[in-house]
């Protein structure tokens, strides 16, 4: 396959290529509801949805928001919108009314698909509260006071709701669009067109809409799959949220690029994951570290067969070395890879390869992806630092976002005049080009003039018996500026005291790195995509220890 040719493909063309080559292979499978589509069937569903959207008047460049868990229509929507030149806007499933109102308003979204709700949030009630006109105005002629750009609301299922189109209606309306008109729409598209908008998780400040093109995420997805050696015989177990890059790029686009099968989970449940791996004979598994920990530590772990597993991705947050080693040993994932990146980078900048030395695969996040430059820069001077020295991880290449939607100043702060995307993450690159992430620039703890990097202390504490997970943050201190605080999740059956943690550290790491404060918790505050919100831990620490 000519790798350079891939740069000229839209997402729709990537799908069409796999449909043509492997029409009878499974494309999408849900084991919990007996849902299974071949590539031919999946391609037909995508085309029906795309034509239905055209029939309703959705134009090239319009935003189509999807506010839903990993329901079966989700992946089809990803390609249907791409085929007609619309922009898929992924909405965080944990958003409440103020957050979804902000995103729909700031993005000037014209269309939204939604499900009933998630956990304690009623999506339909929120839409009616934001857009009361839905109950009184004719569909297709919506004029909303709060969301003036919104034109159409869709329910992502068969049920009917006032003012909303149902999925059966969308699918049926597709028959009114001529095939030549559908093909003409696709011929208008350019790989440099924006096809996806994702709002950064908002761990600090207001979320920003990251504009990503077909080229950005299509080519990144290709190389992510290539580095795992994915092919048409692979079956990828995907329990991570599709609204996040981990799901819709690392998962969906990596698999579709290589005609692999997607075994999708609507929610993460360790037993469902273990069951589907055995039932569908999955060869790859994706997850954030906390998901792998939940599987490894589950009381039913030994009841399932993992012999078909080979590869997969652990990403989303720093991967503890101990967990990587256990996954490779106990789950047969000898070729598991680590990916590192950020949404603004489409998202993957570096990835380990399946044939890397084990030490590189457990201690680093790999080396630069093909056609992407990665550099470690001085965060203040924005100039490269020598190998082996710490600095900010930056990248340049096809993968850099087009920018933040309607935020030119924020875009300029993130992408410099030479085209370098600044990640805000701290890292070190060795002489072979392998990168190790040492933390977030803003997460660095400065204690009495000493720079302390939380990742170093976390990795050390993972070696202690009885610790399941640990997160280290800075605690405000009048005397030192900051002190080291550790939030620890103990393993089941272990009884630990703060003094046990501190005693384990003393004499093994520098005294100023020993946690002054230790808090035992059952879980961490997390985004819906599985990222631990360290800023909330810092807020908790400041409240718990106000006199530090």
pLDDT in tens, 374-386: 999 998 899 999 9
Nearest one of 231, 283, 228, 284 to 257, comparing CA atoms: 231
Contact criterion met (CB below 8 Å) for 454 and 437? no
233 located within any domain: no
* Rg over CA atoms, the chain: 24
Question: 169-178, 196-205, 309-318, 501-510 — which one is most confidently predicted on average?
Answer: 169-178
89 located within any domain: yes
CA 429/CA 375 separation, integer angstroms = 8
User: Residues 76-104: what's their mean pLDDT?
Assistant: 94
Per-residue pLDDT, 321? 87
389 vs 203: which has the higher pLDDT: 389
Per-residue pLDDT, 1? 41
162 located within any domain: yes
Where a domain ends, among 184, 199, 214? 199
Per-residue pLDDT, 492? 93
* 92 token code pair: 């965080």
Instruction: Let me know if 18 is exposed, middle or buried by CB neighbors in 10 A (0-12, 13-18, 19+).
Output: buried
Q: By mean pLDDT, which of 71-85, 325-339, 405-419, 466-480 is the weakest?
A: 466-480
Tell me the pairing of strands 63-67 and 348-351: unpaired
206 vs 251: which has the higher pLDDT: 251
Which letter does DSSP use for residue 165 in this model? E
Per-residue pLDDT, 449? 67
**pTM of this structure:** 0.86
147 located within any domain: yes
Q: What CATH number does the domain containing 76 carry?
A: 3.40.50.12780
pLDDT score of 548 more than 80: no
Per-residue pLDDT, 373? 97
pLDDT score of 4 more than 60: no
CA 169/CA 174 separation, integer angstroms = 9
518 located within any domain: yes
Per-residue pLDDT, 312? 98
Where a domain ends, among 138, 171, 199? 199
Q: In what order do the strands lie in the sheet with 87-90?
A: 165-166, 152-155, 111-114, 63-67, 87-90, 194-199, 209-213, 403-404
The residues near 246 (Cβ < 8 Å, ≥ 6 apart) are 240, 286, 288, 313, 315, 316, 347, 529, 530
Per-residue pLDDT, 6? 54
406 located within any domain: no
Please name the residue ranges forming H helices in 281-431.
Answer: 289-296, 321-330, 358-363, 408-414
Q: By mean pLDDT, which of 199-208, 454-463, 525-534 is the weakest?
A: 199-208
Q: By mean pLDDT, which of 68-77, 309-318, 497-506 is the weakest?
A: 309-318
204 vs 508: which has the higher pLDDT: 508
Per-residue pLDDT, 5? 45
Collect contacts of 138-142 with beta carbons under 8 A, ≥24 apart. Answer: 139/163, 139/164, 139/165, 140/56, 140/57
The total of structural domains in the chain comes to: 2
328 located within any domain: no
278 located within any domain: no
pLDDT score of 439 more than 90: no
- Confidence band, pLDDT 50/70/90 cuts, at residue 202: very low
Helix (H) or strand (E) holding 474: strand 467-477
Per-residue pLDDT, 201? 56
User: Residue 43's domain spans which residues?
Assistant: 3-26+38-199
pLDDT score of 139 more than 90: yes
CA 487/CA 515 separation, integer angstroms = 10
Q: What CATH number does the domain containing 459 carry?
A: 3.30.300.30
- For the stretch 224-281, pLDDT in tens is 999 999 999 999 999 999 999 999 999 999 999 999 999 999 999 999 999 999 999 9
pLDDT score of 346 more than 60: yes
Helix (H) or strand (E) holding 105: helix 97-106
Per-residue pLDDT, 454? 87
User: Residues 440-463: what's their mean pLDDT?
Assistant: 82
Answer whether the bond into residue 297 is a cis peptide, omega within 30°. Answer: no
Where a domain ends, among 199, 224, 242? 199
pLDDT score of 299 more than 90: yes
Q: By mean pLDDT, which of 25-34, 102-111, 196-205, 317-326 is the weakest?
A: 196-205
CA 91/CA 135 separation, integer angstroms = 23
pLDDT score of 288 more than 90: no
pLDDT score of 204 more than 70: no
Per-residue pLDDT, 362? 86
Q: By mean pLDDT, which of 212-226, 294-308, 443-457 is the weakest?
A: 443-457
């Amino acid at each position: 396959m000519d790798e350079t040719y891939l740069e000229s493909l839209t997402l729709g063309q990537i799908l069409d290529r796999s449909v043509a080559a492997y029409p009878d292979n499974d494309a999408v499978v849900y084991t919990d509801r007996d849902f299974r589509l071949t590539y031919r069937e999946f391609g037909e569903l995508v085309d029906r949805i795309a034509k239905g959207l055209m029939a309703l008047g959705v134009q090239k460049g319009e935003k189509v928001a999807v506010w839903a868990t990993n329901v079966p229509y989700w992946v089809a929507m990803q390609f249907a919108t791409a085929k007609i030149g619309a922009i898929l806007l992924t909405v965080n499933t944990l958003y409440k009314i103020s957050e979804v109102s902000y995103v729909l308003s700031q993005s000037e979204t014209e269309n939204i698909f939604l499900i009933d709700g998630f956990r304690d949030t009623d999506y339909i009630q929120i839409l009616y509260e934001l857009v009361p006109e839905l109950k009184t105005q004719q569909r297709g002629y919506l004029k909303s006071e709060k969301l003036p750009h919104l034109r159409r609301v869709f329910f992502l299922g068969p049920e009917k709701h006032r003012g909303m189109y149902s999925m059966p209606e969308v699918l049926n309306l597709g028959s009114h669009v001529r095939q030549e008109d559908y093909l003409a729409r696709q011929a208008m598209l350019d790989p440099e067109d924006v096809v996806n908008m994702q709002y950064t998780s908002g761990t600090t400040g207001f979320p920003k809409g990251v504009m990503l093109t077909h080229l950005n995420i299509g080519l990144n997805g290709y190389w992510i799959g290539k580095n795992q050696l994915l092919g048409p015989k692979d079956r990828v177990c995907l329990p991570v949220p599709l609204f996040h890059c981990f799901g819709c790029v690392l998962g969906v686009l990596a698999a579709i690029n290589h005609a692999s099968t997607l075994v999708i989970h609507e929610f993460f449940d360790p037993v469902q994951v273990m069951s589907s791996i055995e039932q569908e004979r999955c060869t790859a598994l994706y997850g954030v570290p906390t998901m792998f920990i939940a599987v490894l530590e589950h009381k039913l772990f030994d009841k399932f067969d993992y012999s078909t597993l080979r590869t997969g991705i652990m990403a989303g947050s720093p991967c503890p070395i101990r967990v990587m080693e256990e996954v490779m040993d106990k789950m047969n994932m000898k070729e598991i890879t680590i990916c590192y990146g950020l949404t603004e980078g489409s998202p993957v900048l570096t990835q380990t390869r399946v044939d890397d030395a084990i030490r590189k695969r457990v201690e680093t996040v790999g080396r630069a992806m093909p056609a992407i430059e990665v550099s470690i820069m001085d965060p203040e001077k924005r100039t490269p630092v020598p190998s082996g020295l710490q600095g900010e991880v930056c990248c340049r290449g096809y993968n850099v976002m087009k920018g933040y939607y309607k935020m030119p100043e924020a875009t300029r702060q993130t992408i410099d005049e030479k085209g370098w995307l600044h990640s805000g993450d701290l890292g070190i690159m060795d002489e072979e080009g392998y990168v190790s992430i040492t933390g977030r620039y803003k997460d660095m703890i400065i204690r009495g003039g000493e720079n302390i990097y939380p990742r170093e202390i976390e990795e050390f504490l993972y070696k202690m018996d009885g610790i399941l997970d640990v997160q280290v943050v800075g605690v405000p201190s009048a005397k030192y500026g900051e002190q080291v605080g550790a939030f620890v999740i103990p393993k089941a059956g272990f009884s630990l005291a703060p003094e046990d943690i501190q005693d384990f550290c003393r004499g093994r790491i520098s005294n100023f790195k020993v946690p002054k404060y230790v808090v035992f918790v059952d879980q961490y505050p997390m985004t819906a995509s599985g990222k631990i919100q360290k800023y909330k831990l810092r807020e908790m620490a400041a409240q718990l220890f106000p006199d530090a």
